Amino acid sequence: MTGGGNRGPGGRLRGCETSLATAFDAALLDLDGVVYRGPEAVAGAPDAIEAARSAGMRTAFVTNNANREPATIADHLTSLGVPARESEVVTSAQAAAAMLADQLPAGTRVLAVGGPGLRTALQGAGLTLVSGADDRPVAVVQGFSPALGWTDLAEAAYAVNAGARYVATNLDMTIPTERGIAPGNGSLVGAVRVATGVVPDSAGKPAPGIFHRAAQRLGSRRPLVVGDRLDTDLAGAVAAGMPGLHVLTGVSDARAAVLAEPGERPTFISPDLTGLLEPHPEPRRRSPGRWVCVNAVAVVAGGRVEVREVDGQVRALEATGEVVVSLNALRALCCAAWEAADAGEPLTELPPLRVVSGAVPVAR
């Protein structure tokens, strides 16, 4: 491996001469948008995880979804062709429960606003659940559940306005589902924030603790964070000091990766989980604004972006429609764009990008 974690002012993509599954001893995998979308597996994900495990890589499933219990998630994964144990699942509900258990006495009254996974985690941490604000909870913990309604949010607001500590399992504004992008826990938390003026502490990603907990549970010394969201998975990897693989099967697409803020930049990028099974060529800087990855070249200068693919075709990337690029061109483009942004010249316009394997064919 020619590069480790995401280091430097804004980080850059690194290279790995072997497959990631052999270079790292564990994958800390996000679920929604990485392994599955709703009830369905992401195409190719079960086979890729099986192959990574066969190469010696251990797995943990690190999710901000606090609604379901770990055993239920493990059963769901197993039904999709990804055999999983309850102990391999690490949820933001568990992270929130651990946060409160570290700071409050056993038996402290807590109002859980969420699904069964949240209630089980809080009870397992020795906290006492109450049914509403009239029970004078010391803390309110809010986690995503599709069954939450106005009454639940109102009880949370009453308790927080009465002085209860406010904790969110996570602040994801959206979640990917089999039907598309839907409101996440952060959107529901927003209603309570507006009603109370209180910003909750957040226990899940991108806070680093959930990743450290997962790595410790596996006994991992060389963990790799794998996720689809720059603002949670990859920001969490940076915060935890761990390398991160960004896959393009969920929320954050290729264009978002090129425009990523310094604290959200991945170490590796791949269209999907097959990226665990492959070497990753390292982009190289040839001159200011000019980066090369294998035979693909990307140039960013003065807000203008050009990509030259292996076939020699040069194309200016103008915001007029979707542009098809190879994975290596995307890698070079990320590094060139990040360099420009860190020098105070961020890109202001970039079209949607569609990434294909191999070289981009010459237009006829």
Task: Tell me which of 30, 152, 228, 231 is the catalytic residue.
Answer: 30
Tokens of 238: 């940076």
Tokens of 132: 């509403």
Task: Tell me which of 32, 152, 172, 228 is the catalytic residue.
Answer: 32
Rounded (10°) angle between helices 92-103 and 209-218: 100
- CB of 183 within 8 A of CB of 144? no
What residue type is assigned to position 210 of the chain?
Answer: I
Give the integer Cα–Cα distance in Å for 93 and 29.
Answer: 16
What residue type is assigned to position 4 of the chain?
Answer: G
The reply to whether 172 belongs to the active site is no
Residues 6+ apart with CB under 8 A from 336: 289, 290, 291, 298, 299, 300, 305
Among candidates 179, 224, 185, which has minimal Cα distance to 202? 185
105 burial via Cβ count (<10 Å: 0-12, 13-18, 19+)? exposed
The reply to whether 30 belongs to the active site is yes
Asked, as a colleague might, if the bond just before 206 is cis with ω within 30 of 0, I would say yes
- CB of 168 within 8 A of CB of 201? yes
Among candidates 189, 192, 186, which has minimal Cα distance to 157? 192
Among candidates 85, 79, 148, which has minimal Cα distance to 111? 148
- CB of 226 within 8 A of CB of 273? yes
First to last CA, the chain: 39
- List active site positions: 30, 32
